[in-house]
Amino acid sequence: MTGPAAGLVVFDLDGTLVDSATDLAAAVSALTEELGGRRLTRLEVIGMVGEGAAVLVRRALTAAGVDPATPGATHRFLALYDARLLDTTCLYPGMRAVLDALDPLAALAVLTNKPAAPAERMLAALGVREYFIEVVGGDGPWPRKPDPAGLVALRGHARGGPMVMVGDSPVDAETAARAGATFVLARYGFGAAAFTSGPTMHVAASPHALADVIPEALRAARDRD
């Protein structure tokens, strides 16, 4: 950090900072095939992502024709995914430059439903962990998104300034609304297809656009406050 101005920008991880869809889909299909079900397509899997591993596994097993209550399925999925965590996952193009541009403007954090250990490992491997003052995972002391508790807990890092949540899914939008944060939709993310209509929000059509859209959202939030 370089001494940011008062304010906080909280990023979702999968589908917002990183494109992890291929590795997630590979792990899900490895699980469903191992349990005697069919292989799921990448498109099917990304439509199931966003509410944590247990929800993803239940949805995937149901779609694959496997008992969604299969004992140990979530634990096995996490092991399969851990082995593939960084096979193809990468930062979205231009994301490092976006973080460089935002660093002086506000504190930066990550709020994800992914467990904290793989989230930390992913960010470190991709060379961006140092940008974030805190990384909150879905297995921490607070309930997973869309419960706003994790986002509210990060509010102190704003130092009295505005808080902006950046995400690609309706889960992220609901989390921001329930926490009283301004929401920026990462329209390029794989969860954004679920948005068909909704309240006015700040929208970034591409990762590069975040460098302009997030400062606008911070200014608008300051003006409103």
Tokens 């990448």 belong to which residue?
A: 42
Please indicate whether residue 12 is annotated as part of the active site. Answer: yes
Query: What's the CA gap between 160 and 98, in Å, rounded?
Result: 23
**Count of C-beta atoms within a 10 Å radius of residue 78:** 20
Exposed, middle or buried by CB within 10 Å (0-12, 13-18, 19+), for 84?
middle
Phi, psi of 21 (to 5 degrees): -60, -40
Exposed, middle or buried by CB within 10 Å (0-12, 13-18, 19+), for 141?
exposed
**Looking at the annotation, which residues are catalytic?**
12
